[in-house]
Amino acid sequence: MKIENLSFAYGDNIIFDRFNLDVQDGKTVCIMGSSGSGKTTLLNCINGQLNYEGKILYGQNGYKDRRRGVARVFQQPRLIPSMTLRQNVLYAMPAHMDKVERCRRADAVIEALKISDCKDSYPRYVSGGQASRAALARALAVDSDLLLMDEPFKGLDIKLKSDILDLLQPMLYGKSVIFVTHDVEEALCSADEIYVFRKGDKGVEVTFSAEIAEDKRERDMFSDAFNGIRKELLRALREL
């Protein structure tokens, strides 16, 4: 995905002014920054929820149907209360898909995220972690090339976030992901590239960027290399 000369404002409040960003196919880009620095607004532009100027290109020629090309996970699970977890996953999938294939794909993602034991429960009867995993399953079951995640683990404890990330990582290989987070460890664990946004008078500026070449499956989060990136990233966030 390529963002070219993106411009957007809320009235006189300029958020993006000719902003550019490339997301390589199959890579995870983590975006960090203070509240109000344009992170969620960027996702809303990519998802087609806002009218912007500039170009957002999906693949070489772009997708004909953006709704099938992009899936999204929000800060809150946003599950439909009257549906079971499994029904929530199935409901999000394309109606034209063969019913047997829909069920097969939904059940495979549910099993991979380890919520099979509560898939027939309603959202009000499951834990926050189970609801978060159901929201992830709903997004991953859709046949999309780009996944947008907006602080999907907000409010979860460290152990639960770590467990979910461990389950999620193998499912993201080959998928382009834009992941908004305030958590440095989430970013270091998940990202191929990290960007820190700051809102200036003339719109969003990138104050820090880092590329992490090491395979996610083999990362030593406390190696000298990662400690160096962690130190620079924390410094950039403190200077916002």
All structural domains of the chain with their residue ranges: 65-144
Write down the pLDDT at residue 61. Answer: 53
What percent of the chain is predicted at pLDDT more than 70? 96
Residue 88 near residue 79, CB atoms below 8 Å: yes
Least confident of 3-7, 102-106, 221-225, 230-234: 221-225
The residue type of 3 is: I
Q: What is the mean pLDDT of residues 75-91?
A: 96
Residue 178 near residue 145, CB atoms below 8 Å: no
Write down the pLDDT at residue 67. Answer: 44
Write down the pLDDT at residue 189. Answer: 92
**What is the enclosing helix (H) or strand (E) of 53?**
strand 53-57
Residue 59, pLDDT > 70, answer no
**What span, in angstroms and rounded, lies between the C-alpha atoms of 44 and 38?**
10
CA dihedral 204, 193, 152, 17 (to 10 degrees): 20
SS3 159: helix
**pLDDT tens for each residue of 6-28:** 999 999 999 999 999 988 888 99
- How high is the mean pLDDT of the chain? 91
Q: What is the mean pLDDT of residues 197-211?
A: 94
Residue among 229, 198, 219, 239 nearest 15 (CA)? 198
Model confidence at 65, pLDDT cuts 50, 70, 90, reads very low
Residue 226, pLDDT > 70, answer yes
Residue 164 near residue 132, CB atoms below 8 Å: yes
CA distances from 144 to 26, 93, 167, 212 (A): 12, 10, 19, 24
**What span, in angstroms and rounded, lies between the C-alpha atoms of 197 and 182?**
11
**What span, in angstroms and rounded, lies between the C-alpha atoms of 179 and 186?**
9
Total-model pTM: 0.90
Winning range, highest mean pLDDT, from 108-112, 152-156, 217-221: 108-112
Backbone phi and psi for residue 77, each to the nearest 5 degrees, phi listed first: -60, -35
**pLDDT tens for each residue of 143-187:** 788 899 999 988 888 888 888 988 888 888 878 999 999 999 999
Alpha-carbon Rg of the chain, whole angstroms? 18
